[in-house]
């Protein structure tokens, strides 16, 4: 029975604290969020411009992929996969 009394007193105390005075808030509450948001924008008017997205010429892309493949031969990748699979 004493546990019930303790719970009732604790519950009443919690309810009474909810009726307390509202803490005063400063006038500039939330201003820092607006400042941080504004400082992160690189170009706020970018959406209103008709900019052409950057593209890559197919021949240049093919040459880049050839260079990438020559630097990483297929057999060295196969060994890496085999080594990772056998490390139990």
Residue 59 lies in a domain: yes
- The answer on pLDDT for 51 being more than 70 is yes
Residue 25 lies in a domain: no
- The answer on pLDDT for 5 being more than 60 is yes
Residue carrying the six token digits 């029975």: 1
* Predicted confidence band of residue 10 (pLDDT cuts 50, 70, 90): confident
How far is residue 21 from each of residues 13, 15, 27, 57, measured CA to CA in Å?
Answer: 15, 13, 18, 67
- The answer on pLDDT for 81 being more than 80 is no
Tokens describing residue 47: 């959406």
Residue 19 lies in a domain: no
Residue 87 lies in a domain: yes
Phi-psi sector, 22: left (phi>0), alpha (psi -120 to 50), beta: beta
Higher pLDDT, 15 or 77: 15
Average pLDDT over residues 29-42: 85
Domains in the chain, number: 1
Q: Supply the range of the domain harboring residue 82.
A: 55-88
Residue 67 lies in a domain: yes
């Amino acid at each position: 029975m004493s546990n019930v009394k303790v719970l009732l007193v604790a519950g009443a105390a919690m309810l009474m604290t909810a009726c307390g005075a509202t803490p005063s808030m400063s006038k500039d509450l939330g201003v820092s969020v607006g400042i941080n948001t504004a400082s992160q924008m690189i170009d706020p008017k970018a959406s209103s411009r008709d900019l052409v997205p950057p593209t890559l010429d197919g021949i240049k892309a093919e040459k880049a992929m050839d260079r990438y493949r020559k630097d990483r031969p297929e057999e060295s990748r196969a060994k890496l996969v085999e080594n990772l699979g056998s490390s139990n």
